Chains A and B, each alone.
Chain A
Amino acid sequence: MTVRIATMGMAGCSGCHIALLDTGVELLNLLKDVELVYSYPIVDAKNPIPPNIDVALIEGSIRTNHDKEMAKAMRKQAKFVIAFGACSAHGGVNGLANTFDAQEGVEYVYHKTLLMAQKQVPSEHVPQILPENLRLSDVVKVDFIIPGCPPHPDEIAQIITTLLAGETPKLSSKSICDECPLERLTEPPKQLRRIHEIPEQGICLLSQGFLCMGPATRAGCGAECTRRLMPCTGCRGPSETVWDQGIVMLDALAAMEKDEITNFKLSRLAGTFARYTYASSKLDNLRKGLKKK
C-alpha cells in the first residue's frame, strides 16, 4: 500500500523543500512506498488539494489569509499534519516581523522604499496580510513538528521512514549541549563576546562568552554548528522542558552578565534570543505591553 504524502509551502523560503530533496538517494528509496500527491515545488500543483492524504508536510509560517485558508483546506484532507521547519513549527525568522505593526510594514514597503515609492498598496487579486505572523499550530491542529532551519535531511528521512513503518516518530527531549563535543568550563564566562571574535578550539562557546543558544535548543541535529565552532542560533526551537527559548536564555545570560543584557533593546533581544521563535515567544507580550502604554 502506498502512502499518500502532500507538501505545501506558506510564508517561507522553500529551504525545507530543498532539504527534503537533499535526502538524495534516501528519497528515491522512500518514493517506492510513497505517492507524492501534491507538492508545488516538486510536481505540478495547480489542481485543488486531493482527498485522502496520509501525511502533509507544511512549510512556512502563516502570513496572509491565503496561507490560513490553504492550511485549513489541507488539514481537512490530511490525517497527519506535520509543521515542517522552523517557520511552520515556531514562526521562524518571519516571526521577527511581529516586532513591527503589520500595516506600518506594508506602508513602508510600498511608500518609503526606493523602488516602490509612491506606488499604491495593491488591494485586488492579492491575499491580505494578517496583523501578525503566526505559526501553523495557531490556525490548525498540528500532529508533529520537524524542527530546524532547515531541518536536517537525515532527520527528515528518518522521520518519514518511521511514519511509513506505522510508528510515531519522536524528537529528542534534550538540548544541543547533549550532542555537542565541546568541553564545558565550570566557571561562567567573564564577559560576553561578539560573533566575529575567534573562539578557542574544543571549549564550550557559552563558557567562552559567545551567545550560544545550545542549552535551550532541542537536540537532534548532532550539534552540527557548534562542533564547527559556530554558536548555535537556536533554529530547532525550545527543547522539551524549556517553556520559552528566548526568555530562558535571556534569564541565563542575565545571571552571567547583568549590565550588558539589561541594556539590550527589544529589537536586539528578539533577533538574538528568539530568532526563530519570536512569533511563539512571550517576549512579544513585552512589545504589546509597551505599545499599550
Chain B
Amino acid sequence: MTNEDPRIGVFVCKCGTNIAKVVDVPEVAEYAKSLPNVVYAGWQIFTCSEEGQNIIKRHIKKHKLSRVIVASCSPKLHEPTFRRTVMEAGINPFYFEMVNIREQVSWAHMKQKDEYAEATEKAKDLVRAGVYRAARLESIGATTQKVPPVCMVIGAGIAGIAATTLLADNGYEVHLVERSPALGGKSAQLGFVFMTDTCGVCVPPRHGEMARKCLSKRVILNDPKIHVYTQTEVKQFSGYIGNFQARLHSQPRGVDIETCTLCGKCMEVCPVEVPNEHDFGLANRKAVYYPFPQAVPRAPVIDFDSCTKCGKCEHACPVNAINLDEKFKEADITVGTVIVATGFDVFKPEGLYGYGEYPNVITQLMLARILDPMSPTDGQLLRISDRKLPKRVGMIQCVGSRDPNYYSHCSRVCCQVAMKHAVYIKEHWPETEVTIFYKDIRLQGKEYERYYLDAQRLGVKFYRADIAEVEEDSGKSLKLTVDHHNGTKESFPVDLLVLSAAMIPAKGAKELARTLNLEVDLDGFFREYHLKLAPVDTTTDGIYLAGACSSPRDIAEASFMGAAAASHAAIPMSKGEVEVDLAKSIVDESLCIGCANCYAVCPYSAIYMEGGVAKVIEVACKGCGICVVECPAEAIQLRHYRDKQIFYQIEGLLANVGASKK
C-alpha cells in the first residue's frame, strides 16, 4: 500500500432494469459516499456502455481517483472491460474492484417483491465490503511468455484433421498424434455420410479441392509442416502455454512406411487370421493387414497381439520393410499450444434389446459398415445370421442416450443416421420394410428435414413406442414387444434390428483428462471453458477442444469446430507471445519449509520444488489459491487475494452487523 490514502470512486450500475427493478441504485450510491476513503460515488444506467466507461474516466481525472469500484454484474462478464477502462485512464488494472449486485442481489431476489428493501441493504453491504477491500489492493504487473508456432493435435478424426490442415495452411507446425494405425477416426468407417451422402473417408475437403483430399497421403503425410504419429498416445504431459512438454509413446508398426512398396506379399503369406475390427468381424484379416482399404498411412500394420512371429512375412518382403522385433518408440516434443480432438466411442448396448445375445441385433455403425460400398458385403444389405436380405428392418432410437440409467445426453446424430440408412435401404431394396421406433425425432439443421420427408415418401414407418422386450424365434427373426402402458401390448416381427446407440466419451478420455489436467462433465466429456462464449477453450490456457470429445457432434460441427480450435490456437502462436498478469501465487522463500504440499495439490502443475523451497511458474498458475490454503507455514500468498485483503473485505462486510438489524 502506498502512504497516501486511497481515493476511491464508486460507480453503481442500474443495468437497465436488471438491477434497478430490485435494488434502489441511487440510494446505494448515496450510501457509498459515507464510506471511508470514498471521494466520489454515483450511478449510471449502463456502466459497461461506451458512455458509462467515459464517465468513469472523466471522474478518475476530476477526482484524482486511485481506486475504482463498479457495482454491477458478475466479474466474469465485465471485469476485463473495466480493467481496461481504468488502465486507459492511467490506473493499474488491479486497483479496480468489482462488486456483483446483479447475479448475487437483484436476480437472486427478483421474484420476491417483499425482499426488495432488504436486497438494497444487501447491495450496500457488498459495496461496503468492496470499499474496504479496494483500500488494500496492490498494483500488479504483467509478464510475457513466448509461444512457438508449434501445435500438438491429439486425435486424427474429422476435427483433428480439420484443425491440422488449417494450422498447416497458415504456416504453423503441427504434431498430429493418433492412437490407431490409420487416420480418419470414426468417419473412416462410414461408407457415406448424411446431408451430402458423400464418402466418409473423404471429408473434410480442404479449400479449393472438394474430393478425396484430407486422407490422401499427398496432403497430410507430405506436408513438411505436419508430423504424423500413428499408434501413438500422450504418455506424459506438463508445462504451460508456450511451453508444453509431451512424451509420445508409439507402439511398433512392424512395417517401415517409407520402404514399403505396398506389394502385399506379407499379407498373402501370413498364416494368422482374426476378425477385422474395422468391419466388426464381418470379415477376417491377417495379423499383418491394412486397417481398411483406403487407410493412411498407406502401409500394412502388424497386430503384435495375434502375430505368432513365424517370420514368413519377413522372408516374403522383397524390400526388407518388416521388422518383427521392433520396439516401441518414445519422442519428447515441446509445443506452444494443444488441440484435443479425441472424439467419441459408440456405446456398447450389452444386455439391451438382445444386443450381444442375438446375432441379428446390431448397431447403426455396424449397419454403416454393411452398407458401405467398400464393405466385405460389397454394400449389400444382409442380416448376420444367414447373410440373406432382411425383409423387415427395425431401428430403435435413443439406446443409451436420454436414458437416466445410462447417459443423460441426447447423442444428436442418431436421428439423422437412422434416417440416412432408412432412406438408403428403401431406395435400394424397396420391398424391405423399415420401421423406426423412436422417443422423439430430433432433426435440426440444414437439409435434414428433406431426409425426413424422403423417408416418409419412401414408406419408412415411424412408430413412437417403448420397446419392452425383444425375443428371437427359431428362424432367427426377432419379435419386438411394444408396451402401450395402458394394459395392451403389441408385437412387431423384424429380421434385422438396428440400435441407434449413444455417442459416449472415447475410451481413455478420463486418463487423458488426468494427464492434460482437463475437466470432465457429468457424462465424461471434456468440459469447455464456457458452453456458449468459449466452446473451444479449456480452463488451461493454450489447450483447446475440437469435435466430439466435448459433446456429441456431427461431421459438419466437428469440422467447423476443428477450424475454430485452430483459429483460437493460432492467436497466441501468431502473436508469438502471451501476456500474463501476475495476480498469481507468490512464495515467501524465507518461510517455506519445503513440505511440497503445494506441489502435490496444484491442479495446474504450476509449482515445482527447487533447493528445498517451492517455486511458482507464474504463466501456468491460474490463481485458484489452493496452495495458499494448504500451506502449513502460510508461506504462500495469492496476489490480489492476500489473506489480509480478504479479511479486510470480510471486516467491511460485517462492519454494520447489528446496525442493520434495527
Please give the residue numbers on chain A whose beta carbons come within 8 Å of chain B beta carbons, in ascending order. Answer: 174-175, 177-178, 184-188, 204, 206-207, 214-216, 239, 241-243, 248-249, 251-256
B594 & A184 in contact (Cβ 8 Å cutoff): yes
Q: Contact check: which of B593, B630, B643 meets A184 at CB < 8 Å?
A: B593
Q: Does B655 contact A (CB under 8 A)?
A: no
Distance between Cα atoms of A178 and B643 in the complex (Å): 23
Interface of B is mostly: loop
Q: Does B467 contact A (CB under 8 A)?
A: no
Contacts of A252 in B (CB 8 A): 595, 597, 630-632
B643 & A243 in contact (Cβ 8 Å cutoff): yes
B632 & A215 in contact (Cβ 8 Å cutoff): yes
Q: Does B633 contact A (CB under 8 A)?
A: yes
How many residues from B make CB contacts under 8 Å with A?
Answer: 23
A186 & B630 in contact (Cβ 8 Å cutoff): no
Contacts of A177 in B (CB 8 A): 593-595, 633
Which of B593, B600, B601, B635 has its CB near the most chain A CB atoms (within 10 A)?
B593
* Given A241-B633, A241-B634, A188:B597 Cβ within 8 A: yes
**Cβ of B586 to closest chain A Cβ, rounded Å:** 13
Distance between Cα atoms of A14 and B437 in the complex (Å): 86
Which 9 pairs of residues, A with B, have the shortest CB-CB distance?
A: A215-B632, A255-B630, A252-B632, A177-B593, A241-B634, A186-B596, A215-B633, A188-B600, A242-B634
8 A-B residue pairs with CB within 8 Å = A174-B590, A175-B593, A184-B612, A215-B632, A243-B643, A252-B631, A253-B632, A255-B601
B600 & A241 in contact (Cβ 8 Å cutoff): no
**Cβ of A204 to closest chain B Cβ, rounded Å:** 8
**Cβ of B243 to closest chain A Cβ, rounded Å:** 22
Distance between Cα atoms of A119 and B285 in the complex (Å): 94
* Given A175-B591, A243-B643, A256:B597 Cβ within 8 A: yes
Contacts of B631 in A (CB 8 A): 248, 252
Q: Does B140 contact A (CB under 8 A)?
A: no
Q: Does B629 contact A (CB under 8 A)?
A: yes
Contacts of A185 in B (CB 8 A): 596
- Which residue of the partner chain A has the closest CB to B609? A186
Q: Does B599 contact A (CB under 8 A)?
A: yes
Contacts of A207 in B (CB 8 A): 595
Contacts of A175 in B (CB 8 A): 591, 593, 633
Distance between Cα atoms of A30 and B601 in the complex (Å): 51
Q: Does B273 contact A (CB under 8 A)?
A: no
Distance between Cα atoms of A249 and B593 in the complex (Å): 13
**Cβ of B428 to closest chain A Cβ, rounded Å:** 60
**Cβ of A267 to closest chain B Cβ, rounded Å:** 22
Q: Does B588 contact A (CB under 8 A)?
A: yes
Contacts of A206 in B (CB 8 A): 595, 632
Contacts of A204 in B (CB 8 A): 595
Contacts of A186 in B (CB 8 A): 594, 596, 599, 609
**Cβ of B585 to closest chain A Cβ, rounded Å:** 14
Distance between Cα atoms of A174 and B590 in the complex (Å): 8
Contacts of A256 in B (CB 8 A): 597, 600
B593 & A243 in contact (Cβ 8 Å cutoff): no
A248 & B612 in contact (Cβ 8 Å cutoff): no
B635 & A241 in contact (Cβ 8 Å cutoff): yes
Distance between Cα atoms of A178 and B631 in the complex (Å): 15
- Which residue of the partner chain B has the closest CB to A186? B596
A251 & B629 in contact (Cβ 8 Å cutoff): yes
**Cβ of A64 to closest chain B Cβ, rounded Å:** 29
Q: Contact check: which of A174, A188, A243 meets B596 at CB < 8 Å?
A: A188
A242 & B633 in contact (Cβ 8 Å cutoff): yes
A249 & B632 in contact (Cβ 8 Å cutoff): yes
Q: Contact check: which of A178, A251, A255 meets B593 at CB < 8 Å?
A: A178
Contacts of A243 in B (CB 8 A): 634, 643, 647
Contacts of A216 in B (CB 8 A): 632-634
Contacts of B634 in A (CB 8 A): 216, 239, 241-243, 248
Q: Contact check: which of B590, B593, B609, B629 meets A215 at CB < 8 Å?
A: B593
Which of A174, A251, A253 has its CB near the most chain B CB atoms (within 10 A)?
A251
- Which residue of the partner chain A has the closest CB to B608? A186
Contacts of B647 in A (CB 8 A): 243
B629 & A255 in contact (Cβ 8 Å cutoff): yes
* Given A215-B593, A216-B634, A241:B588 Cβ within 8 A: yes
B595 & A215 in contact (Cβ 8 Å cutoff): yes
Contacts of A184 in B (CB 8 A): 593-596, 612
Contacts of B588 in A (CB 8 A): 241
Contacts of B597 in A (CB 8 A): 188, 252, 255-256
Q: Contact check: which of B595, B600, B630, B633 meets A254 at CB < 8 Å?
A: B630
Contacts of B629 in A (CB 8 A): 251, 255
Interface flags, B615-643, vs A, CB<8A=1, else 0: 00000000000100111111100000001
**Cβ of B582 to closest chain A Cβ, rounded Å:** 20
**Cβ of B495 to closest chain A Cβ, rounded Å:** 54
Contacts of B594 in A (CB 8 A): 177, 184, 186
Contacts of B600 in A (CB 8 A): 187-188, 255-256
Contacts of B612 in A (CB 8 A): 184
Which chain B residues numbered 370 to 394 have a C-beta less than 8 Å away from chain A? none
- Which residue of the partner chain B has the closest CB to A180? B593
Distance between Cα atoms of A187 and B634 in the complex (Å): 18
Interface flags, B146-160, vs A, CB<8A=1, else 0: 000000000000000
**Cβ of B264 to closest chain A Cβ, rounded Å:** 54
Distance between Cα atoms of A214 and B633 in the complex (Å): 9
Distance between Cα atoms of A251 and B633 in the complex (Å): 11
A241 & B591 in contact (Cβ 8 Å cutoff): yes
B596 & A251 in contact (Cβ 8 Å cutoff): no
Give me 17 other A-B pairs in contact (C-beta within 8 A), A178-B593, A215-B633, A241-B633 excluded. A174-B590, A174-B591, A177-B593, A177-B595, A184-B593, A184-B594, A186-B594, A186-B599, A188-B600, A214-B593, A216-B632, A241-B588, A242-B634, A243-B643, A248-B632, A251-B630, A255-B600
- Which residue of the partner chain A has the closest CB to B631? A252
**Cβ of A11 to closest chain B Cβ, rounded Å:** 29
Interface flags, B635-662, vs A, CB<8A=1, else 0: 1000000010001000000000000000
Which chain B residues numbered 569 to 597 have a C-beta less than 8 Å away from chain A? 588, 590-591, 593-597
Distance between Cα atoms of A120 and B593 in the complex (Å): 53
Distance between Cα atoms of A85 and B572 in the complex (Å): 58
Contacts of B633 in A (CB 8 A): 175, 177, 215-216, 239, 241-242
Which of B597, B626, B629 has its CB near the most chain A CB atoms (within 10 A)?
B597
Contacts of B593 in A (CB 8 A): 175, 177-178, 184, 214-215
**Cβ of A173 to closest chain B Cβ, rounded Å:** 8
Contacts of A253 in B (CB 8 A): 632
**Cβ of B614 to closest chain A Cβ, rounded Å:** 10
Distance between Cα atoms of A185 and B596 in the complex (Å): 8
**Cβ of B423 to closest chain A Cβ, rounded Å:** 55
Contacts of A174 in B (CB 8 A): 590-591
- Which residue of the partner chain B has the closest CB to A185? B596
Distance between Cα atoms of A253 and B597 in the complex (Å): 9
B630 & A187 in contact (Cβ 8 Å cutoff): no
B591 & A188 in contact (Cβ 8 Å cutoff): no
**Cβ of B132 to closest chain A Cβ, rounded Å:** 17
Contacts of B601 in A (CB 8 A): 255
